[in-house]
Structure 1
Amino acid sequence: MSFGKKLSRFFYNRAETSDKHWDKELQTHYYKTTKDKGLAALQDLVKRSNKFEINSVSTEHGEISFHIAKGKKAFIIATVIMVRPYQTAIDFTVSTESALPFDFGYSSKVIKQLYENLNKELPLIDKN
């Protein structure tokens, strides 16, 4: 990862995960579970935390949207996709609500914390 890419992460107010992301910590995580169980685990994780509030859940689309209610505000969309039987991908998109056009890497930090918590709940297969 080049210095320019590391520096650029601080000058955006949005971060998202993908299969081939240049930052290894922001690559899609794959879990050994079904879509429904992955979505349920994610929903439980959000409900247990007093930091988050759920906006909506779409089980048929495998999406949950929630926001950070305490501290620095951010809006999060999590997508749960079953790639193969018992191989489910979970991706995040985080947009920080701020008066500034950048968040100093806060949105990336939120994704990393969500993945850390999910790794405790679900068996991680691969980050790809």
Structure 2
Amino acid sequence: MPLRQTIARYFSDHAETNDSHTDPLLQTHYYKITADKGVTILESLFRNDPLYDIHASSSDRGEISATITERKKAFIVATVTMVKPLQTAIDFSVTTESFLRFDLGFSHKVIQRLYAHTDKELPLVKNIEQQPAHR
């Protein structure tokens, strides 16, 4: 990872995932599930872990908003999008509440922890762009 991105990771109070993120740890994960199952798994994660508190959940829109209530406080938005039959993308956006305007990589670590949990619970599918080309 280039130096500029490493510095930005530690001196920012926000991290989010997307398909083309330069940091491979913050690229969208795809799962072999329906969107409803993705929302259900994320809701159970947030409900069963005392670290999180759910603010709102909409299975119709595929969004869940929650906060981390211990140590550092952070606001999380999880987005579940079905891109094709039995292929669902899950993205996270995490903003840390801090008067310093940086979190020393905390929001990045929250996303890694959330993906580690969902990767254990759900069958991961590789992104089409990440698969090697056939010769």
Cα shift readout 1:69-89 (whole Å, capped 9, x = no counterpart): 111100000000000000000
Q: Which runs of 5+ in 2 are unaligned?
A: 131-135
State the shift of 1:4 in Å: 1.6
Counterpart of 1:98 in structure 2 is: 98
State the TM-score, normalized to the length of structure 2.
Answer: 0.92
Across the aligned residues of Structure 1 and Structure 2, the Cα RMSD in angstroms comes to: 0.9
Counterpart of 1:80 in structure 2 is: 80
State the shift of 1:21 in Å: 0.3
Q: Which amino acid aligns with 1:23?
A: D
Counterpart of 1:31 in structure 2 is: 31
- 1:50-69 matched pairs, under 5 angstroms: 50-69=50-69
Counterpart of 1:116 in structure 2 is: 116
Higher relative CO (Cα under 8 Å, sequence separation at least 6) belongs to 1
Instruction: State yes or no: 1:15 paired with 2:25.
Output: no
Q: What SS is found at the alignment partner of 1:50? A: coil
Q: Which amino acid aligns with 1:105?
A: G
Following TM superposition, the consecutive aligned residue runs of length 4 or more in structure 1 with deviations greater than 3 angstroms are none
- 1:34-45 matched pairs, under 5 angstroms: 34-45=34-45
Q: Which amino acid aligns with 1:121?
A: E
2:126 and 2:76 map into 1 onto residues whose CA distance is 22
Q: Which amino acid aligns with 2:16?
A: E
Q: Which amino acid aligns with 1:98?
A: S
1:125 and 1:113 map into 2 onto residues whose CA distance is 18
Number of aligned residue pairs: give it: 128
